[in-house]
Amino acid sequence: MADAGGWRPPRPCEAYRAEWTLCRSARHLLHHYYVHGERPACEQWRRDLASCREWEERRSAEAQRSLCESERARVQATRKHALVWTLRQSPPADWHLPLPQEEKDQ
């Protein structure tokens, strides 16, 4: 890690608090349970908030390392899911023609 004097957390501590509060809300709990079939894991947001506050108060190297690892893991988790569809480079050649269903109706 670089010089700790100029280092800042990847997000402001308020952002970690807001994420933790949202994660614990009833609306998020119900939505997450409906979509994923399990309760959301909010513990990491709480640990990140504690590490951020510890960094701001004491400039702890352990808090800095913890925040960096957490953000790195969060970024990796978003990258592991591939796109469902392949993106087109151009539209199909016959995009302007009527659909077969429309031809039958006329």
For residue 88, what pLDDT is reported? Answer: 86
Give the 3-state DSSP-derived string for the chain, with helices as H, strands as E and coil as C: CCCCCCCCCCCCHHHHHHHHHHHHCHHHHHHHHHHHCCCCCCHHHHHHHHHHHHHHHHCCHHHHHHHHHHHHHHHHHHHCCCCCCCCCCCCCCCCCCCCHHHHHHC
Domain residue extents for the chain = 13-77
pTM over 0.95, yes/no: no
For residue 2, what pLDDT is reported? Answer: 45
- Provide mean pLDDT across the span 44-66: 92
